[in-house]
Structure 1
Amino acid sequence: MRRLAAVMAAAGLGLTAACTAGGDQSGGGPAADEKQTIEVWHGWSAPHEVKAFQDAVAGFGKSHPNITVKLVKGQTDERITNAIRGGNPPDVVSSFTTDSVGQWCKSGAWQNLAPYIAKSKLDLDQFPPAVQQYTQYKGTRCAMPLLADAYGLYYNKGLMKGEEPPRTMGELTTLAKKLTRRDPDGTIKVAGFMPSVQYYEHQVQHLAPQFGAKWLTGDGRANFAGDPAFTAYLKWNRSLIDWYGYDNVKEFLRSMGQEFESSNPFEKGKVAMAIDGEWRTKFIQEEAPKLDYGTAPAPVSDDRASTYGGGFITGTVIGVPRGAKHAQAAWEFVHYLTTDTGALVTFANALGNVPSTIPALSSPKLTLPPQFRTFLDVFKNPNSSTTPPTPNGNDYIVRFEKFTQDEWEPGKVGDLGPALTKLDTEVDDALKLAGG
């Protein structure tokens, strides 16, 4: 739920210059079976979120009665980073974004968990491949997954009038035009689908991969000019914006309600179809319980119809920071919370997120609405993908998003090829500065 704010903050953490990787710290502090108190920092702050975390943690106290857990809510990546730099970190830290994993792993700000994993004989194959990817950087695994987010298509059944959800971008475009309603002056009353990256979760990282876009080359360089999928995505984006009229799009965006409030335009019936995360089911349940809606995987480009079913996935991550005073007990906590099916299901039910292990995905104790099944399937689908980690976080995503929003959508770019080549150079220069 807090992904947007976390994503935009991730690019500026600057961890690499301030932290240096340490050695094996898995034997640090008291033994795990000694009596001790560990401090755990997490980002959840709303009362129901805090209670959900407490409920998920309760089982750990029963299996580890010697370890008292002190939970500290509402913590940000910036606070975590400052505590690590200052040499006074908590024992366990978690983050809503995976975008900083490359920085944390490369710098050693979050400990390499390989020694802990080996001692615990933990089977990493209980996590889907994309999850294994976003919790490590170049072979260093410094994070574990704690619940996940999967993205799919939400559609308003009343506005759809019996139409099936689109499977390809061509079908989406046709249906979006058919379902759009305008005032006589062209103002958008109901948007069939709003293609702009400024529409909440319609960010580039959630839509471009549906065209097959690969963010980085095999040697870790920017791939915007070299991968025709980016051009295909941008041309699709602009064609639908041009059909609406850019000024009409801007006016509609200005009129939108808050993403995480009942004024959200999808919940109000002002948008027929939208890409969103699984958490929207929980919001609809609480804010718009009478809304008749369905969910489906996000459409893919017409030339990739066989890959339909996958989508963008990411998740909350948790780890042990460098300098943790109770490292062994901290790992026991991380191990429990990220692999215990009961804890994950309890947490997922309360927050409306996807459990991050394959066993938890099939638990009969999941009590989520039927529309949630789509996101469990997307999460398991081999065609699902995530954004690769880098030493400077999500800088390449931020740059591409800014280009799309500020230059491409308003029609300021004539020749796309040189513009993407220039963007590649800027991204690569920034990666070099970060040691990538």
Structure 2
Amino acid sequence: MKLSRRSAALLAASALVLGGCGSTGNDAGESKSSAGGKVTVEFWNIWTTDPLKTYGAQAIKDFQAAHPNITIKSVPYENEAFKAKLTTLTQSGKAPDIFQTWGGGVLKQQVDAGLVKDLTSDAGSWLGTFTDAALSAYQVDGKTYALPEDIGMVGFWYNKALFKKAGIAEPPATWSALIDDVKKLKAAGVTPIALAGKDKWPGHYYWAYLAMRIGGLDALKQAGDSKDFTGPAFVQAGQKLKELADLQPFQKGYLGATYGDPGGQAATMGDGKAAMELMGQWAPAVQNDAGKGLGDDLGFFPFPAVDGGAGAVTDAFGGGGGYAIGADAPAEAIEFLKFLTDSAEHRKAVGTGGVLPVLKGEEDAVTDPNLSVVAKNLAGATGFQLYLDQAFPPAVGQEVNDSVAQLIGGTKTPEQVAQAITETAKSE
């Protein structure tokens, strides 16, 4: 079975807010109110595996105890089933009272269809408690349409022992230094990078980050608005990635490798058979599950700067999870959302290892050392870019993944990648 970024993260308790197998529940749209002023709020979520399954059940119990007139009807779905069910429901012109969202292009489509509530005013009293990076994926045209529950970032996870074997004293701070380190690792007989070529989405991280470092976040925003990805930042990103791919830095058989399966990217890294992987904050747990795990030999560094580039090395790339409110939801749905994102309650969720901080000053609630490193990087982020296969409309995101995979495999040029993505964007 093909393992997606989110379903792969299910292998780890400390992964993104993602789901396993859950019950199906009923479709939204049924009566929410009953006699006596009691209100039922339907809550679609992906709290189907621990630690969030157990946390969520307790959170709902605590909320209902404090609000005896409100019943939270939890409707949990496995991640992919959730997306399919939600798509079917929204196509009918309805939305659950409160539901999981990853922001970006799909949320914008829901906003354009009038299916979600503008929370800018309703949540105005506590919007300032969130970090700018955490909120960014849920804002459309300056307005906020969902609130974050989780955030994460992609960066390089590396094997300290293999770096030492190759004579590399510290992680590379620039792209040119990364290229030099790849050469040193190969010379030492070490596979520099593990990559799940078959899954495609891990490869798009490289192209996206390079475009960010070269053109800055504005280049990506402008391309999204103009639907034109043929600008210098995107072509140069392809050229830099081709420079890396031409060194043949990936493990043998990477084109057929998946992310979390035996022998895949995570296992290659976790078994010490590659020096680096570019992956999200769930990487250590999946390495431990798919492979042996690296223990104290595992380190993390942010994606390097590109010499002469306009982007800051402190700009982060990643994603997370949040909650939107259906346009026709009762006011009590917002009350529940406020409860979930209140500092006292959200710290409990962070403490489980199931989510990372989205509130200012919450980093100390992270107990896992690997997740703590990511949380500190996010706390200092000067900007944030959502995964391109989520930030843009679904067809555009798929084209990014497909074209970048072809670039890495040597069957598309940097210019052809930029043109293909542009053509798809303009056809949307």
- Within-5 A mapping of 1:17-28: none
Secondary structure of 1:212's aligned partner: helix
Q: Whole-Å Cα distance in 2 between the matches of residues 116 and 321 of structure 1?
A: 13
The number of residues matched between the two structures is 390
Q: Say whether the 8 Å CA contact 1:352–1:368 is kept in structure 2.
A: no
For structure 1, the residue ranges without an aligned partner over 5 or more in a row are 7-27, 184-188, 431-436
Q: Whole-Å Cα distance in 1 between the matches of residues 75 and 191 of structure 2?
A: 43
Q: Say whether the 8 Å CA contact 1:98–1:315 is kept in structure 2.
A: no
The 10-residue stretch of structure 1 (71-80 or 230-239) with the greater mean CA deviation from structure 2:
71-80
Residue by residue, what CA displacement relative to the aligned partner does 1:354-402 show, whole Å, maximum 9, x if unpaired?
21111323xx433222562233323431144336899972433322322
Q: What code does the residue aligned with 2:305 have?
A: V
Q: Partner of 1:347 in structure 2?
A: 349
Q: Whole-Å Cα distance in 1 between the matches of residues 247 and 153 of structure 2?
A: 29
RMSD: 3.7
1:297 and 2:302 correspond: yes
Q: Partner of 2:324 in structure 1?
A: 319
The 10-residue stretch of structure 1 (378-387 or 340-349) with the greater mean CA deviation from structure 2:
378-387
Q: Partner of 1:220 in structure 2?
A: 225
Q: Say whether the 8 Å CA contact 2:356–2:366 is kept in structure 1.
A: no
Residue by residue, what CA displacement relative to the aligned partner does 1:278-325 show, whole Å, maximum 9, x if unpaired?
22244456664553211122212122498223320322121122343x
The 10-residue stretch of structure 1 (43-52 or 283-292) with the greater mean CA deviation from structure 2:
283-292
Provide closer, same or farther for how the CA distance between residues 240 and 86 of structure 1 changes in structure 2, counting only shifts above 3 A. closer
The 10-residue stretch of structure 1 (77-86 or 167-176) with the greater mean CA deviation from structure 2:
77-86
Residue by residue, what CA displacement relative to the aligned partner does 1:221-263 show, whole Å, maximum 9, x if unpaired?
124212x221221111112212218xx7672342566269996
Provide closer, same or farther for how the CA distance between residues 99 and 53 of structure 1 changes in structure 2, counting only shifts above 3 A. farther
Provide closer, same or farther for how the CA distance between residues 81 and 164 of structure 1 changes in structure 2, counting only shifts above 3 A. same
Q: What code does the residue aligned with 1:171 have?
A: A
Q: Whole-Å Cα distance in 2 between the matches of residues 322 and 166 of structure 1?
A: 47
1:83 and 2:97 correspond: no
Q: Say whether the 8 Å CA contact 2:196–2:254 is kept in structure 1.
A: no
Secondary structure of 1:244's aligned partner: coil
Q: Displacement of 1:333 after TM fit?
A: 0.8
For structure 2, the residue ranges without an aligned partner over 5 or more in a row are 9-30
Q: Whole-Å Cα distance in 1 between the matches of residues 313 and 332 of structure 2?
A: 43
Q: Partner of 1:411 in structure 2?
A: 410
Q: Displacement of 1:155 after TM fit?
A: 0.9
Q: Partner of 1:234 in structure 2?
A: 238
Q: 1:309 aligns with which of 308, 314, 322?
A: 314
TM-score when normalising by structure 1: 0.76
The 10-residue stretch of structure 1 (215-224 or 230-239) with the greater mean CA deviation from structure 2:
215-224
Q: What code does the residue aligned with 1:322 have?
A: A
Q: What code does the residue aligned with 1:234 have?
A: G
The 10-residue stretch of structure 1 (139-148 or 78-87) with the greater mean CA deviation from structure 2:
78-87
1:365 and 2:365 correspond: yes
Q: Displacement of 1:141 after TM fit?
A: 2.6
1:158 and 2:161 correspond: yes
Q: Whole-Å Cα distance in 2 between the matches of residues 61 and 50 of structure 1?
A: 17
Q: Displacement of 1:274 after TM fit?
A: 1.6
Q: Whole-Å Cα distance in 1 between the matches of residues 391 and 356 of structure 2?
A: 27
Provide closer, same or farther for how the CA distance between residues 376 and 59 of structure 1 changes in structure 2, counting only shifts above 3 A. farther
Q: Partner of 1:400 in structure 2?
A: 400
Q: Whole-Å Cα distance in 2 between the matches of residues 123 and 74 of structure 1?
A: 29
Q: Quick one: percent identity of the two aligned structures?
A: 21
Q: 2:268 aligns with which of 261, 265, 270?
A: 265
TM-score when normalising by structure 2: 0.77
Q: Displacement of 1:175 after TM fit?
A: 0.9
Secondary structure of 1:53's aligned partner: helix
Q: Say whether the 8 Å CA contact 1:313–1:379 is kept in structure 2.
A: no
Q: 2:130 aligns with which of 127, 131, 135?
A: 127
